[in-house]
Structure formats: structure tokens, C-alpha cells
Amino acid sequence: MFETSSRLPDFPWDKLAPFKQRAGEHPDGIVDLSIGSPVDPVPDLVQQALADAANAPEYPTTIGTAAARQAAVDWMARRLDVTGVDAQRGVLPVIGTKELIMLLPTLLGIGAGDTVLIPDLAYPTYEAGAALARATSVPVADPTAYDGPVKVAYLNSPRNPSGEITSPDDLCRTVEWARANDVLLVSDECYTEFGWDEKPVSVLHPDVCGGSFDNLLAVHSLSKRSNLAGYRGGFVAGDPTVVTELLAVRKHAGLMVPSPIQAAMAAAFADDVHVEEQRTRYLRRRAVLRDALTDAGWTITLSSGGLYLWASHPSYDAWGSVGALAEKGILVAPGAFYGTAGEQHVRIALTGTDERVDAAVKRLQE
């Protein structure tokens, strides 16, 4: 009777189970660098804001609190040099950005016969969201090279899994293409605070969008920036017409961010100190892992931003690399999870504790 799940791509992480078991047999235990889930503490000020707002008996509103929306707008201006976002019509809190990306085509009425462009090396939720809506997803290296009608095109910078950062020139060119072809361009920018070799630029930056948010959405998350993956809080901002449509449909669906979470979001977006502390942690882990992998014969490419190292070894394909590292008690994600362009690579997350990362470094040196 029901065939929704059959339309979706296979959930890939189940395939890692035997490798996880093998890695777990190491005498010093597993070093799990496969999933980019934060392991460091939630900032105290965020926990306090959550506790202070815990007495919340009323339903929250879909549009969110004025404080949460304004904190998001202020953060974009302060950290991303994005100005002019309307806190009333141009920004909307969401229940984690994976939820938004998965449901976006459905919420906007995209369906059978419509085309959604996704990056050729990509987080699988872009494809799954198109499939849920019965639309066709097409992986592309460059959306502007696609010949045919398109409803939505996704960008992701810094990119998961490879850490590649899209240049301002490429962003400008893609914005021009989207407007010329009436395509909604959705830029997933959840790793934007973690640019290492280059500084990520938002699609809503005035030098990119020309001061207009027409045809543009930017998606931002607190999961990585503030170690709030467990809170499920983020927002979407950009074209007021599209944001207004999302708001109208989400009201019917009851897609509302809990009020205490919104209070925590406002506190997190208002503070930059904890982000700099987290950047320092990740930079240190990135440096020691990168050096150890390189010394052990691995090649690191791209990886200019985000929370991952994109690695390959001349002796293995993606799954062979997963197996070789599992023998050392280190679990990583095969690049094949993210598209055919990743079949020779693995994604190695920086989201292990310092102790576990140091254990991985020691094993790579043996």
C-alpha cells in the first residue's frame, strides 16, 4: 500500500556496520571518525538560556520568536557581512536544517516531472528530498552547465564531504544563471564558520547577490557552529516571497521550533567567543590528523573548510580505505556514500575528542 520508502535512496550508514565491528576490536577501542556529530560541550550560556526558557506551556509559532529571528539576522551581518535581511519576512527558524532540506521540494509543491540539481559530490539528503517529492534529481559539477528546465539547484560550501569552498566568482555566475532561468538557488552554508584555507562567502553577500535576495535561499545551522546537533535548530533566509510561502505551508504542518530551543538559538547566535574556542579545537585536530595521514601515505585534497578531511590512498578505493583504517581501529566514511565522484576517497571527521584523535594519530604512525 505505502511505497514512500522505496522511492528513497538506501540509507548508507548501515553498510558500515561490519567495519565498525572490526574497528571496535582494537585493544584500545574504536576511534569513530565516520559521522560528523559534535562531541564537545554545549556552551554554558546556551544551556542557561535553554533552562531559563524551560517553562514554555504554550505552542510556539511557526514564524518563531522575534528574538531568535533578530539574532540570526544580526549574526549574518556580523560574521558573514550579509546585510538587508528582513527579520519579519526574510528569515524563518527550522527544526534542524536536514529537516528543511529533506522537505523543501515537497513544501514548495515541486513534484513529478520537475528537476532538482544537486552537487555531484553531496550529502545524500538533497537526493532524498527530491525523491520524496517524486521529482528527478540530477547530480552536476556545475549547475550552470545543465541544459534543461530546473526548479531548484543546491549549493553546499564548505562542502560535505570534501570541504571544497565555492569561490565568489563561481557564486556570482551561478546566481546570474539562477535568475536568468527562474531557478531557486538554495545554498547550504552550515559549515560557514569553519573555513580554514579560504574564507567561505554566503550566497546572500552583497558582492554575490547584488543586494537582492531574489531566487536565493541560504540555510544555516547551529549543529556544527555551537555543538547543538542535539537541539535541532537552524534557519533559512533569503527571498521573502519564498520564505513567506514556506511559512504558510509549515503553519499547516505544525513545523515549529520549540520555544526553549529558540531561546538557546538566540543566545548561541549572539555569542562568538565559544565559536572561536571550537575553531581552535578543530584546527588542532585537523593539523595532527592531516600530518599523520600524509606521513602514512594518504593524500588530502580539497578540505579547505568544514569538519572533514577528504583523503585517498594509492592502494585502495573508498571501501578498501575504510577496511584498511578499520584494521587500525579507525572508522571513517567511504566517499562512495556521497556519489560516484567519491569512489576513491574517504571522509574523515574532525569530530572526535582530543584523546581519540590522538589515539588515531598514534595508530597511523605505527
Q: What is the DSSP string of 37-72?
A: ---SPPPHHHHHHHHHT----SPPPTT--HHHHHHH
Q: In 254-326, where does DSSP find H-type helix?
A: 259-270, 273-295, 318-326
Domains of the chain with CATH codes? 4-41+274-365 (3.90.1150.10), 44-271 (3.40.640.10)
Q: In degrees, to the nearest 5, what angle opens at C-alpha 348 toward C-alphas 343 and 350?
A: 155
Q: Which position has the grid cell 565516520?
A: 34
pLDDT at 11 (0 to 100): 72
CA dihedral sign, ordered 100, 103, 107, 111: positive
pLDDT at 12 (0 to 100): 74
pLDDT at 306 (0 to 100): 97
Cα–Cα distance, 287 to 339 (Å, whole number): 27
Helix and strand numbers (H, E) in the chain are 13, 13
pLDDT at 13 (0 to 100): 79
Please say whether the beta carbons of 229 and 223 come within 8 A: yes
- Mapping DSSP to helix (H, G, I), strand (E, B) and coil, where does residue 17 land? helix
Nearest to 20 by CA among 38, 33, 1: 33
Nearest to 221 by CA among 233, 238, 204: 233
| Type and span of the H or E element at 179 | helix 168-180
pLDDT at 155 (0 to 100): 98
Nearest to 61 by CA among 257, 248, 260, 235: 257
pTM of the model: 0.96
Helix axes 66-80, 259-270, angle to 10 degrees: 30
pLDDT tens, per residue, the chain with 366 residues = 556 655 777 777 788 999 999 999 999 999 999 999 999 999 999 999 999 999 999 999 999 999 999 999 999 999 999 999 999 999 999 999 999 999 999 999 999 999 999 999 999 999 999 999 999 999 999 999 999 999 999 999 999 999 999 999 999 999 999 999 999 999 999 999 999 999 999 999 999 999 999 999 999 999 999 999 999 999 999 999 999 999 999 999 999 999 999 999 999 999 999 999 999 999 999 999 999 999 999 999 999 999 999 999 999 999 999 999 999 999 999 999 999 999 999 999 999 999 999 999 999 999
